[in-house]
Amino acid sequence: MRLTIVGQLKGQLTAATRIAMDRGAAVTHAETVDQAMRTLRAGRGADLIMVDVALDVRELIAGLEAERFHVPVVACGVDNDARAAVAAIQSGAKEYIPLPPDPELIAAVLAAVADDQRDLVFRDPAMIAVVQLATQIAGSAASVLITGESGSGKEMLARHVHQKSLRANKPFVSVNCAAIPEQLLESELFGHEKGAFTGASARRIGKFEEASGGTLLLDEISEMDVRLQAKLLRALQERVIDRVGGSKPVPVDIRVIATSNRVLADEVRRGTFREDLLYRLNVVTLKIPPLRDRPSDILELATHFAKKYAVANGMPVRPLSAEARAQIARGRFPGNVRELENTIHRAVLLASGPEIGAEAILSPDGGPMAPARTADAASRAAETAEMITRSFVGRTVADVERELILDTLGHTQGNRTHAANILGISIRTLRNKLNQYDEEGYAITPPQGGVAAA
């Protein structure tokens, strides 16, 4: 985790720095917004910026956007400065941390950023095979090509390769080749010298140099212009780059991972992608199956996202009802994991009651989610049952038992006697199990009226 703290290091901010370093963050300090921008231009990348609200937060965020530095910003300041806190959030800060610093709050913010970068969740055998291969080749220096449909999790798999590699403690830098205009992508990748073109008012270190020692992800590389592909090929072959407007080559030490939602061999035949670059990139190819071809991952991911967005929105963690799970298992999800994530995030916000019901599983326009196929009801039910059964594979009996007990208690609205009867166990056994789950930190559905129903 690379953290840049912007502001005067006096007292409370110094304490925040010390806490972050104790939690494993590599901390860089800049006293002013200008100094922070110079640090980023010099290639000292950041995964998170913490800025004192005494500085101009709006200016910092505007500068980051103008120069295409995609870094989340959190503001910090004395806890009674409510006006400054509101202004910082309105300016684009993701969070506000009151000072004096709370070690647990800072740890939570750092963990949230780290978790956003490491959410690789899978259970289906098809995905297990891909992850096993990724882990196997991670320790090598070979370039990797990751293919798959949009939203299938290519960047997450790339981060997994980096984290399992010998470069795990070095930077992981990502560039979305499809999101940056063609005329700016060369500068973004290779950097530029002052005066190299109109608007180049200072030297800017590119992503190749920023990632030196670590891993560079070229996301959706098929969108890169053929002319720029030639310069990229040279960088991969010779491990040197030329800044725009520069007079001498700059050595770099990186591992390149590229992703594409297209078949690059087809692009080679069309003349839009260089064949020699394809051979250089795909020393190892990892192909991620679409979500529809790994059904056991659907419910596993849904459960993960339900917990993640409940915590993120300050809401209680609630299980998915049996009806909701069946509806999700039937879903088509042409947008793959990204679409499923948005569906569950929406459901967490819309659901009422002790669990997330099927009525909260909606499409973006508020209508019911389209089923995967138009088969008759019987075959759909059989398919759903098979998906749910497959989702249990690889889980412990204790995990399945706990989920069954908590789901049943939710259906009975906290009535323990009814839940015990449905489960076929004694009320004493149920109470012992619930006490155990409560001690382990799991949410227990309270009985209606707040009194345990025996």
Number of domains in the chain: 4
Query: Which CATH number fits the domain that encloses residue 73?
Result: 3.40.50.2300
Residue 385 lies in a domain: no
Q: What would the pLDDT profile of 143-162 be if each residue is shown by its tens digit?
A: 999 999 999 999 999 999 99
Of 153, 118, 115, which Cα lies nearest the Cα of 336? 153
The secondary structure of residue 424, as a DSSP letter, is T
Q: What would the pLDDT profile of 223-245 be if each residue is shown by its tens digit?
A: 999 999 999 999 999 999 999 88
Cα separation, 172 vs 210, whole angstroms: 9
Cα separation, 64 vs 230, whole angstroms: 29
Neighbours of 413 (CB within 10 A): 17
Contact 3, 20 (CB under 8 A): yes
pLDDT for 202: 82
Residue 69 CA to its chain's centroid (Å): 17
Q: How confident is the model at residue 306 (pLDDT cuts 50, 70, 90)?
A: very high
Please report, as a single letter, which amino acid is at residue 203. Answer: R
Q: What would the pLDDT profile of 350-380 be if each residue is shown by its tens digit?
A: 998 899 999 999 987 777 776 655 444 455 5
Query: Which CATH number fits the domain that encloses residue 401?
Result: 1.10.10.60
255-259, 318-322, 403-407, 449-453: segment of lowest average pLDDT: 449-453
Residue with token string 């310069």:
231
pLDDT for 451: 44
Cα separation, 181 vs 131, whole angstroms: 32
Residues 188 and 276 in one domain: yes
Q: How confident is the model at residue 393 (pLDDT cuts 50, 70, 90)?
A: low
43-52, 150-159, 214-223: segment of lowest average pLDDT: 43-52
Alpha carbon distance, N-terminus to C-terminus of the chain: 50
What's the pTM value of the predicted model, to 2 decimals? Answer: 0.68
Residue 44 lies in a domain: yes
Residues 140 and 268 in one domain: yes
Query: Which CATH number fits the domain that encloses residue 314?
Result: 1.10.8.60
Cα separation, 183 vs 372, whole angstroms: 41
The yes-or-no verdict on residue 329 having pLDDT over 60 is yes
Residues 150 and 235 in one domain: yes
What residues does 30 pair with on adjacent strands? 6
